[in-house]
Structure 1
Amino acid sequence: MRIRLRRGAVRLRRVLSTGAALVLLVPMCACRIELAPPGSPTPWPAASARHWQWQWQLSGPVDPDVDADVFLLDAVRTTSAETAELRARDRRLICQVHVGSVDTGDPDASRFPAGVQGATGHRPQSRWLDVRRWDVLEPALADRFRLCRGKGFGAVALADADGYLYRSGFPLEFDDQLQFNRRVAGLARSLDLSPGLMNDVPQLAALAPDFDFAVNEECVRLAQCGKLLPFVDAGKPVFHVEYTGTTGAFCVTTVGYGFASMRKQRTLDAWREPCALP
């Protein structure tokens, strides 16, 4: 004897089957990890801090084929198309911004009054800035950071954040620089950028809680690598470069410390010779 189901029962069975399928699909969708969209701060998982490969390029056409996880690039020269291509390859992008100096060739040079410009800086035609004048510097620096965010960067490295160590033309003290660097790190975070400290070795220990990563030049040659350990101990990446010597000579030291290290030319073009990962 064949039993015929009523139309209502058939509909109910179909609804229940569809619902069961949806229940099974929801966990699968929830497990997908989405990439951070442009303008979001770059994450730096502590478990990966010792395993990044990086590239630092400020001259020549950006080479997207470099085998590196992290790219440190110039804020102005780098185009949105270049950052889009790198992001499509799941690269982490750091924007280099000079926060303690201004160059006559900078597009926003006119925003820094003569009163806050001091002695000649590191770059050609550059001047150190009076970092005590936060009221004057903050609006221009915020726009420099917005430029980075608008181009798809998720992190910013603060260059020339150590004017107190040089004859800047201003009586800058250790505490003046410390307060300024903390303010700039906070400004970057407020604009959804992950802040990184470039050089400023004497203040690394004090500033480790305020920054997500460090960028260092020539700690081996200058015998300063040990001072970068507060970042390593906190599970934060240290991106290190040497311009002289061989990787065979310095990689043993820096990789042992837990740094992401490589050798570059001072022109910071596409060429690099990285240390092997542990």
Structure 2
Amino acid sequence: MRRALLLLAPLLLLAACTSSPDGPDEGDGADGGSTRPPAPSGPHWKPKPGLTWQWQLKGTLDATVDVQVYDIDAFDQSAAAVADLHRRGRKVICYVSTGAWENWRPDAARFPKDVLGKGNGWDGERWLDIRRTDVLEPLVAARLDMCRAKGFDAVEPDNMDGYRNDTGFPLKAADQLRYNELVARLAHDRGLGVGLKNDLDQIPPLLAHFDFAVNEQCAQYHECDRLTPFVAAGKAVFHVEYELPPARFCAQSKKLGLSSMAKKYDLQVWRDPC
């Protein structure tokens, strides 16, 4: 999120879900084990190009925006909020950080200090050592269990390109590929669609593992054409710009088949779509 300063992060816990009336407590993995969830009842959602969307991570949720897809926070929004959006005919994406730690999340204490790296540019957030899948897999699994328990259709895992940043760990591209593939598998195991957040350099090897893409500022950085493999594969690309007005990017977005809009960095209700 807000790539201009780096991305944003949130990470896991079904403790938040089990202590809430919104979610069931079965198979939550909250004890630290990476229990395999029951087989999904049907195929996961695979959004097609051209869908309209709203991305709101802050402020009181406005469920009345006339779009086909909502992308909202895993922890801050309830099962009731997801169900309400479904009643309104929306598909709903679960925003959750898988590559960085946030100190205000209810599961923050579950992350050992030795997997916490440098700050990622936002208060209270630090990169994670994604090589430590022994530690992170059960935590990510618990967080995705929460998304599933709340009824989300898909997940947007954030901070998926730590290897290209100064994380405090000697991360390599191969480490990122392994980790991103793991996150995609964990989402699919739970019947959730999953989107690749930014990480443009690794689109070719990751395309088969992800059902859609979420991108920030590809127009500002002159790289939107790198997302065409998703569209060519019949997979949606949900795209935002923060610093460019729609007149500067919408023509290209429509040509490329992207679902684009302008947003403010705070990711509240305001949007200016193509």
Query: Into which bin does the TM-score normalised by the smaller protein fall?
Result: 0.7 to 0.9
1:149-185 deviations in whole A, cap 9, x for unaligned? 1111010011001110111010000010001000110
Partner of 2:46: 44
CA deviation vs aligned residue, 1:196-231 (integer Å, no higher than 9, x gap): 111111111221110000000010001110111111
Matched residues in 1 for 2:73 and 2:43: separation?
17
Q: 1:40 to 1:70 in 2, by over 3 A?
A: farther
Which residue of the partner structure matches residue 80 of structure 2?
A: 81
Q: Over aligned residue pairs, what C-alpha RMSD do you find?
A: 1.5
**Amino acid of the residue matched to residue 245 of structure 1?**
L
Distance in 2, Cα, partners of 1:228 & 1:198: 11
* 1:201 paired to 2:176: no
Query: Residue 125 of structure 1 aligns with which residue?
Result: 124
Query: Does structure 2 conserve the Cα–Cα contact (< 8 Å) formed by 1:103 and 1:123?
Result: no
Alpha carbons of 1:39 and 1:69: their partners in 2 closer, same or farther (altered >3 Å)? farther
Larger helix percent: 1
Q: 1:180 to 1:67 in 2, by over 3 A?
A: same
Match of 2:272 in 1: 273
Secondary structure of the residue aligned to 1:167 is coil
TM-score w.r.t. structure 2 length?
Answer: 0.83
Structure-2 residue corresponding to 1:54: 53
CA distance in structure 2 between the partners assigned to 1:186 and 1:43 by the alignment: 14
Q: Which has the higher contact order (CA 8 A, sep 6+)?
A: 2
Determine the C-alpha separation between the residues in 2 that align with 1:181 and 1:80.
26
The question of whether the paired residues in 2 share the 8 Å contact of 1:39 and 1:149 is answered with no
- The CA deviation string for residues 109-130 of structure 1, in whole angstroms up to 9 with x for no partner, is 1111011111112432111111
Q: Does the 8 Å contact 2:101/2:127 carry over to 1? A: yes
Whole-Å separation in 1 of the counterparts to 2:50 and 2:201 = 26
2:140 maps to 141
Q: Secondary structure at the match of 1:55?
A: strand
After superposition, where does 1:93-104 map in structure 2 within 5 Å?
93-104=92-103
Q: In structure 1, list runs of 5 or more residues that go unmatched.
A: 1-37
Q: Percent identity?
A: 46
Whole-angstrom CA distance in 2 between matches of 1:139 and 1:237:
29
TM-score by length of 1: 0.82
Q: Which runs of 4+ in 1 moved over 2 A?
A: 38-45
- AA paired with 2:86? R
Aligned to 2:261, the other structure's residue is in SS state strand
Matched residue, 1:175: 174
Superposed displacement of residue 44, structure 1: 2.6
Q: CA deviation at 1:274?
A: 0.8
Please, which runs of 5 or more residues in structure 2 have no aligned partner?
1-39
Give the Cα separation in 1 of the matches to 2:117 and 2:271: 34
Q: Classify the secondary structure of the residue corresponding to 1:105.
A: coil
1:245 aligns with 2:244: yes
* Structure 1 SS opposite 2:72: strand
Match in the other structure for 1:228 = 227
1:41 CA displacement: 6.0
* Structure with bigger gyration radius: 1
